[in-house]
């Protein structure tokens, strides 16, 4: 990019037949315009800077997302471990209660068998007693 030379431009206008005062005003106005003009090279610099900033922002975002994913995974694993521990406690408690109930059922089954045997014995004794009484009463 070349810089604008207002004096040179004014001289060229004067050499071309433009009045000195008009050439000076033209050169000054064009000099002001040229300071405000955006050139392609300026746009490329801005574009390059913006691309760099966007890439940096994208990388920071990706890094933060990775960090949050790692944190979340750790929290999920902690909750999973805690739940597994609680499940094991409940499982052990239920297993103990089931064992206790099975032992109680076994004891009740044994008790019922004893009662059946005793009830049969009582009936047999009563039948024997009834037979003896009948035998005594009937000649």
What confidence tens digit (pLDDT) does each residue in 33-59 have? 888 877 788 889 999 999 999 999 999
d(CA 12, CA 114): 134
In this structure, are residues 47 and 22 in contact, taking their beta carbons and an 8 Å threshold? no
Q: What percent of the chain has pLDDT over 90?
A: 76
d(CA 25, CA 10): 9
* Neighbouring residues of 41: CB distance < 8 A, sequence distance ≥ 6: 1
Cα Dmax for the chain: 174
* Mean pLDDT value across residues 111-121: 96
For residue 36, what pLDDT is reported? 80
| DSSP code of residue 4 | P
In this structure, are residues 36 and 4 in contact, taking their beta carbons and an 8 Å threshold? no
* Mean pLDDT value across residues 59-76: 97
Q: CA nearest 6: which of 22, 29, 40?
A: 29
Q: CA nearest 30: which of 7, 48, 56, 64?
A: 7
């Amino acid at each position: 990019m070349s810089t604008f030379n207002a004096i040179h431009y004014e001289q060229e206008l004067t050499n071309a037949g433009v009045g000195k005062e008009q050439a000076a005003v033209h050169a000054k106005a064009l000099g002001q315009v040229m300071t405000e003009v955006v050139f392609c090279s300026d746009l490329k610099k801005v574009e390059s800077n913006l691309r760099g900033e966007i890439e940096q922002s994208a990388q920071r975002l990706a890094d933060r997302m990775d960090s949050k994913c790692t944190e979340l995974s750790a929290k999920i694993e902690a909750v999973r471990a805690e739940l597994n521990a609680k499940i094991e406690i409940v499982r052990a408690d239920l297993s103990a209660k089931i064992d206790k109930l099975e032992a109680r059922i076994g004891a009740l089954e044994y008790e019922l068998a004893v009662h059946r045997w005793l009830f049969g014995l009582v009936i047999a004794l009563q039948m024997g007693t009834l037979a003896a009484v009948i035998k005594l009463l009937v000649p």
